Amino acid sequence: MDIMQIVADYNARQTPTALCTVIRTSGSVPRRAGSKMLVGAEGQLIAGTIGGGEMESRVIKLAQQCIRDGEVRTGKYQLADPSSGDPGVCGGEAEVFIEPMLTTPTLVIVGAGHVGRAVVHLAKWAGFRVAVLDDRAELCTPEQCPGADVYLPGPLDAALAQLALTPQTYIAMLTRGYPIDVGILPALLKSDVTYIGVIGSQRRWLTAAKALREKGVSNTDLARISAPIGLEIAAETPEEIAISIMAQVIQMRRMKGER
């Protein structure tokens, strides 16, 4: 199968990869310019090769870093003297371009109330894949909250365990009370998600933050949370609040450099 078709298949399954292409060589090298390999987030070689050996091993590690942070990189390798740290003795040089093949950004909406429904609509319009979670099963349905890609009704911790929480994941906590937030935020803060926003007043957030500190959450981790959620635009209606939330999510995505 063509390597680009494999990339497309992995993207369709929301599984990020990194495409590594030899773009320049000189002298004796294992593979010439144009050779490609596809690497998974766990460092697995999915398809292709750039020659094997220590150079390929180093490129795989760099590819994993590219998948984690979404940045493209170029690795330059001399293959002459392993005692000096070179990854081989062939005598040549190779340059490898590594491009992360990232998945569609996912917005996870925790809470399928009035604001949650409005955010689903805007997030889909803005090009996000949308997952909706709510412990109230009757609200977490296509009929009550139309437009999402994934519906996960029931206990929130179990629902979150079914999702891949990656740097391409954004979390909107639109719950009905701070005890729910306190219950699941510690687990979210251990993940690599780019954004966590929590709805509610400043007083509600201060109460939640105090409870989280009592559970051992550090101030450094709390600083990752945007609370109250959204940009300040004096929003009042669910639709206006949804606009402020999505504006902040998009701001975070673009400031991070996602394409």
The 10s digit of each residue's pLDDT in 103-129 is 889 999 999 999 999 999 999 999 999
Whole-model pTM? 0.80
Tokens of 196: 């966590």
Q: Over 80: is that where the pLDDT of 256 sits?
A: no
Q: Any idea which of 27-41, 71-85, 168-182, 243-257 has the lowest mean pLDDT? A: 71-85
Q: Over 80: is that where the pLDDT of 164 sits?
A: yes
Amino acid at 111: G
pLDDT of residue 140: 97
pLDDT of residue 89: 61
Please name each of the domains of the chain with its CATH number. 3-101 (no CATH), 106-255 (3.40.50.720)
Greatest CA separation found in the chain? 67
What's the pLDDT tens digit per position in 48-84?
999 888 889 999 999 999 998 888 999 998 876 667 6
Nearest to 124 by CA among 114, 110, 143, 109: 109
Q: Over 60: is that where the pLDDT of 86 sits?
A: no
Q: Distance between CA 8 and CA 2 in Å, rounded?
A: 10
Q: Over 90: is that where the pLDDT of 255 sits?
A: no
